[in-house]
Amino acid sequence: MNRLSVRLVLSHVLVAVVGGLTTFLVVRALAPALFDESLRHNPAPGSGRFGGGPNQALRDQFATAVDQSLLVGTLIGALVAAVLGALLAQRVIRQLRTMRRATRAMAGGRYDVTVALPREVELASLAEDVNTLGSALARTEERRVRLLGEVAHELRTPLTVIDGYVEAMMDGILPTTPTELGPVSDEVRRLRRLSEDLSSLSKAEEGRLDLRRTTLDLRELIVGAAERLRPQVADAGITLVIEAGDDPLIASADPDRIAQVLTNLVGNALRATDAGGSVTIHCSAAAGMAAISVTDTGVGLAAAELDRVFERFYRVRGRRTAGEAGSGIGLTIAQDIANAHGGILTASSPGLGLGATFTLALPLS
C-alpha cells in the first residue's frame, strides 16, 4: 500500500466505484418514481388505476433491469479505471525512476547527468530542479578542486623556502643566526597569515562571519584606520590623502571588520602604486548609503579584471611584489564582509596604467 503505483491504481478504482455507487443510488431512487409518473400520464391499456397488477409487475421488472445494468456498468467502469490507472501509474513511476537514477548518480559524483523534461508541468518542474541541482553541485565541485590546487600552490613556495634554509643549516652551509633565520620567520608568518585568511574565507562563504555590530560613525572609523596606515604608506614613498568630509556617517557595523576591509584595500593600492604616486581615501553618502572609496595612481585594471580581482588567489599582473605579498584572497574576504553587512564592494578603473578605485558601500542607519 505504500507504493505510489498501487495507490494511483487504487485511487482510480475507488473513483470509479464511488461514481458507480453514486449513480446507482441516484438512479435507483429516481427511476421508479419517474417510471410511475410516466405511467400515470400514459397508463398501459387495461391497467386501471396506478398501483394495479400489470403496472406493478412492469415496475418491478424495470427496477431489476436498471439494477443489473448499473451493477454491470460499475464493474466495467472499475475495470477500465484500473487499467487506465495502471498505465498512468507506470508512466509516472518511470519518470520518477529516471529522476531517482539521476540523483543517485549525482550522489556518486557524476554531476553531468541531466533529466529529460516530461510533458507534465509538475514533473517537468521537478526535473528542472534536479538539473539545476546537478549544475550547482558541478560548480561547487569545480570550485573545491580549484581551491585545493590554489591552496597547494600557495603552500608550496613558503614550504620550499623553509625546507631549503633548514636543510642548509642542518648541513652546516648556513649558520643559525638571526640574519639567516629571518627569511624562515617571514615564510612562517606568511603561512600563518594564509591559514588565518583561509579560515576567514571559509566562515564568510558559509555565512558564519562573527559580526559584532555597533552603532558608529564610519567617517571617524575610516580616518582612524587610515592614520594608522600612514607610516606604512610613507615608507613606500607614496602620498596618502584622506577626504572624509565633515558630516557623520552613522551605521550599524563591525568596526574591526570594516577596518580589515580598508586595510586590505590600502595594502593592495600600495602594491599597485610606485613611489611618488598617491592613494586617496574618500568618504561620502548618497541615497541612504555610505561610500568609502580607495583610489590609487598605480597600474590600473583591464576591463576583464574588474570582476576577477575578487576571485580567490587571483593576482593582477604588474603589481609590485616588494615586501610581504598578500595571500590572494584578501579581496574575496573583503567582498564577503561587505555582503554580510548588507553592502557591496566594487572595483573600477579607467584602464591599464591609470590607477583603480575600490568602493565599499554600506547602508546607513
State the pairing for strand pair 344-348/289-296. unpaired
Is 355 in contact with 298 (CB distance < 8 Å)? yes
pLDDT in tens, 4-62: 566 666 776 777 677 767 777 766 666 666 666 666 665 655 554 444 555 667 667 66
Distance of CA 290 to the CA centre of its chain: 27
State the CB neighbour count (10 A cutoff) for residue 111: 18
DSSP string, 63-92: HHHHHHHHHHHHHHHHHHHHHHHHHHHHHH
pLDDT at 40: 65
Strand partners, 356: 296
Q: What is the dihedral of CA 314, 316, 317, 323, to 10 degrees?
A: -90
Can you read off the three cell numbers belonging to residue 192? 600563518
Distances (CA, A) of 68 to 27, 64, 200: 12, 6, 80
Grouping H, G, I as helix, E, B as strand and the rest as coil, residue 24 is: helix
Residue for cell digits 398501459?
Answer: 44
pLDDT at 239: 92
State the pairing for strand pair 278-286/344-348. unpaired
Can you read off the three cell numbers belonging to residue 162? 623553509
Cα–Cα distance for residue pair 156/87, rounded to 1 Å: 62
Burial of 140 (0-12, 13-18, 19+ CB in 10 A): exposed
Strand partners, 361: 291, 344
Residue for cell digits 473513483?
Answer: 15
Burial of 22 (0-12, 13-18, 19+ CB in 10 A): exposed
Backbone φ and ψ for 14, nearest 5 degrees, come out as -60, -40
Can you read off the three cell numbers belonging to residue 220? 571617524
Residue for cell digits 475495470?
Answer: 79
Burial of 191 (0-12, 13-18, 19+ CB in 10 A): middle
Residue among 127, 117, 119, 114 nearest 88 (CA)? 119
Please list the pLDDT of the chain residue by residue as tens digits (365 residues): 556 566 666 776 777 677 767 777 766 666 666 666 666 665 655 554 444 555 667 667 666 767 777 777 677 767 777 777 777 777 777 888 888 888 888 888 888 888 888 777 777 888 888 888 888 888 878 877 777 777 787 788 788 888 888 888 888 888 888 888 888 888 888 788 778 777 777 776 666 667 889 999 999 999 999 998 888 888 889 999 999 888 889 999 999 889 989 988 998 899 889 999 999 999 999 889 999 999 999 988 888 888 788 877 676 665 554 444 555 678 888 898 898 899 999 999 998 888 999 999 999 98
pLDDT at 321: 47
Can you read off the three cell numbers belonging to residue 272? 599597485
Backbone φ and ψ for 306, nearest 5 degrees, come out as -60, -35
